[in-house]
Amino acid sequence: EFSSRARQKHARLAGDQREQYPHSLQFYLEPPLESISLVEFESFAIDRLRLLKVIENLGVSYVRSSDVYKTKLEAELRKLKFPYRALAEDDYEARRKDHISHFILRLAYCQSEDLRRWFLQQEMDLFRYRFHELTGSLMQRFLEHANLSFEAIGEDLKNELANELSVSTPGFSLPKVKEQMFYKVGLADAVDLFRARRVFIKDGFAYVPFKEIDVIVLNNYRTKLSKALALTARSLPSIQSDERLQPLLNHLSHSYVGPDYSIQKNSGKISLEQIDALSVKSFPLCMRQLHRALRDSHHLRHGGRMQYGLFLKGIGLTLEQALEFWKKEFIRGKVDADKFDKGYAYSIRHSFGKEGKRTDYTPYSCMKIIMSNPPSQGDYHGCPFRHSDPELLKQKLQSYKIPPSGITQVLELVKGMHYQLACQKYFELTHDVDDIGFSLSHPNQYFTESQKLLSGGREPKKELNNSGNFPQKNNSQESTNSSSTPTSSNAKADTELEGLEAYFTED
Ligand code: SF4
């Protein structure tokens, strides 16, 4: 649908869809059927991605039931114009955005097991927060709306079972049993409570207190959503044949929302002699690893050259410096000067936009590094938090003098698949700050923030600033002519990048 925004809006209002959203909370059972513009498609998706990333960040920084978690999440929901208060009567636009954006990301994040798990986790946290924010009567309304109208047991039955209910339900004294409403729920729905021995069971039914009903609802939502993701994944081939959608969806799943670091204010401000020291102080682990491998073996295979070369360009190496840097190192290994000038030099000039299609290539974001082109034997590219064996990662961190408690924290985050958060923790440990103060999404962002901190350019923040987690699309781009958001122009750049990669295929 390519019509203008105004026309779209008009078309949408003409076919009023308010009745689709009787509640601000939903299980997303029915996909949206209306036509929307690609612009809206993309902006909805990016906003939800921002939201889910904030949720991930908050989830490991704060206890989910804490006030600070709730306050920060509500602020983000308000800012991005998603439904934040179930009571709001007229939040049709917010509900619509919530609905559509969920389904777009579902398409983008059904594509691999890793993506599905990540999406499911963040959506569950979002749902949990919203469900807990509902008042008692809205909760009841939602349960009915979601066809989860569990039967509340009558006073007579409750009195009859009072002793059993009190003994089998932790935290429920007899008087408390009398106060609370209990629901009769099929065993399959209460399996988590049953496993944790937190519920009274009789004749194939669980008797669940109102305050525990959330466990059941969440369980139900998780089952529905993971099934839906698996089903969506099966329909991928037909989506992949849509040439408008596929690039957008691919970019969303690799997406990182922030500046693209393709144009550097610092160009030429770094000398080659500084790189060794900088690699220890200010490079993220992925680049530190690549630098070490290059110095040790005087060579990097093409995945490493791409990842590291573009990063170095992003931190400010000029073309001349890059040529000198790579040449010096390579001719110490098996490549002679002539071979370097004929092959590798061309590809370096190409990556600076001086050859071929003259595209100024963008340094890789964390998502791109984490999600695509995993390293194989003999490769040093990739994200060590994602791609290294935990034992090797541990050894590496030990060799970098990270204290044991810090290593444990990093490994815990890795285990939970929070790779960027593990990297943030590594930043905090190596820079001796309590809180990183930004949401990491790009190796060059890591470098810039490290340099700012080390040069006293910013005070370490004590509080995670979620409202400022993601640079705004319009004003924070370092480059004015390129956007890192997943646009079709990025899709074009990626196609061109494949062309560039062809130049690098020589190992
Ligand atoms: Fe590099 Fe990003 Fe992984 Fe950190 S999280 S090591 S910056 S890819």
The residue that leads in pLDDT, 461 or 128, is: 128
Q: Tell whether the model's pLDDT for residue 5 goes beyond 90.
A: no
The whole-number average pLDDT for the span 255-264 is 64
Give the separation between CA 411 and CA 183, rounded to whole angstroms. Answer: 41
pLDDT at 491: 38
Give the separation between CA 312 and CA 303, rounded to whole angstroms. Answer: 14
Instruction: Say how many Å lie between the CA of residue 393 and the centre of ligand 1.
Output: 13
- Average pLDDT, whole number, for the chain? 81
H/E segment holding residue 207: strand 205-209
The whole-number average pLDDT for the span 494-506 is 39
Instruction: Say how many Å lie between the CA of residue 280 and the centre of ligand 1.
Output: 15
Q: Ligand 1: does its nearest atom lie under 6 Å from the Cβ of 182?
A: no
pLDDT at 142: 85
Q: Ligand 1: does its nearest atom lie under 6 Å from the Cβ of 423?
A: yes
* Ligand 1 pocket mutation pick from 369, 371, 414 by most atoms within 8 angstroms of CB: 369
pLDDT at 324: 95
Q: Tell whether the model's pLDDT for residue 488 goes beyond 60.
A: no
Q: Ligand 1: does its nearest atom lie under 6 Å from the Cβ of 363?
A: no
Q: Ligand 1: does its nearest atom lie under 6 Å from the Cβ of 252?
A: no
Are the beta carbons of 414 and 390 closer than 8 angstroms? yes
Nearest-atom number in ligand 1 for the CA of 419 is 5
The token pair at 450 is 């490290």
Q: Ligand 1: does its nearest atom lie under 6 Å from the Cβ of 371?
A: no
Side-chain-side CA neighbours of 66 within 13 Å: the count stands at 10
pLDDT at 246: 78
Q: Tell whether the model's pLDDT for residue 6 goes beyond 70.
A: no
H/E segment holding residue 202: strand 200-202
Give the separation between CA 501 and CA 279, rounded to whole angstroms. Answer: 25
Q: Of the spans 177-186, 263-272, 296-305, 451-460, which averages the highest pLDDT? A: 296-305
pLDDT tens track for 58-76: 887 788 889 999 999 999 8
Give the separation between CA 208 and CA 225, rounded to whole angstroms. Answer: 23
Give the separation between CA 425 and CA 435, rounded to whole angstroms. Answer: 8
Instruction: Say how many Å lie between the CA of residue 73 and the centre of ligand 1.
Output: 25
pLDDT tens track for 199-236: 899 988 999 988 788 888 998 899 999 999 999 988 88
Who's near 241: CB < 8 A, 6+ residues apart? none
Domain boundaries, the chain: 20-143+220-241+249-253, 145-215, 273-455
Q: Tell whether the model's pLDDT for residue 92 goes beyond 70.
A: yes
Instruction: Say how many Å lie between the CA of residue 386 and the centre of ligand 1.
Output: 9
Are the beta carbons of 483 and 260 closer than 8 angstroms? yes
Q: Say how many residues make up the chain.
A: 507
Q: Tell whether the model's pLDDT for residue 45 goes beyond 80.
A: yes
pLDDT at 260: 67
Q: Tell whether the model's pLDDT for residue 363 goes beyond 60.
A: yes
Task: Give the closest residue to 312 by CA, choosing from 443, 415, 475.
Answer: 443
110 is in an annotated binding site: no
CATH number for region 20-143+220-241+249-253: 1.20.930.80
208-212, 270-274, 407-411: which has the minimum mean pLDDT? 208-212
pTM metric for this prediction: 0.65
Q: Band of the pLDDT at 425, cuts 50, 70, 90?
A: very high
User: Whose C-alpha lies nearest to ligand 1, atom 2?
Assistant: 366
Q: Ligand 1: does its nearest atom lie under 6 Å from the Cβ of 44?
A: no
Q: Band of the pLDDT at 270, cuts 50, 70, 90?
A: confident
Q: Band of the pLDDT at 17, cuts 50, 70, 90?
A: low
The token pair at 370 is 């984490």
Q: Band of the pLDDT at 16, cuts 50, 70, 90?
A: low
Q: Tell whether the model's pLDDT for residue 106 goes beyond 50.
A: yes
Q: Ligand 1: does its nearest atom lie under 6 Å from the Cβ of 385?
A: yes
- Within 10 Å of residue 320's Cβ, how many Cβ atoms? 10
Q: Ligand 1: does its nearest atom lie under 6 Å from the Cβ of 259?
A: no
Q: Band of the pLDDT at 20, cuts 50, 70, 90?
A: confident
pLDDT at 44: 92
Residue written as tokens 């049993």? Answer: 177
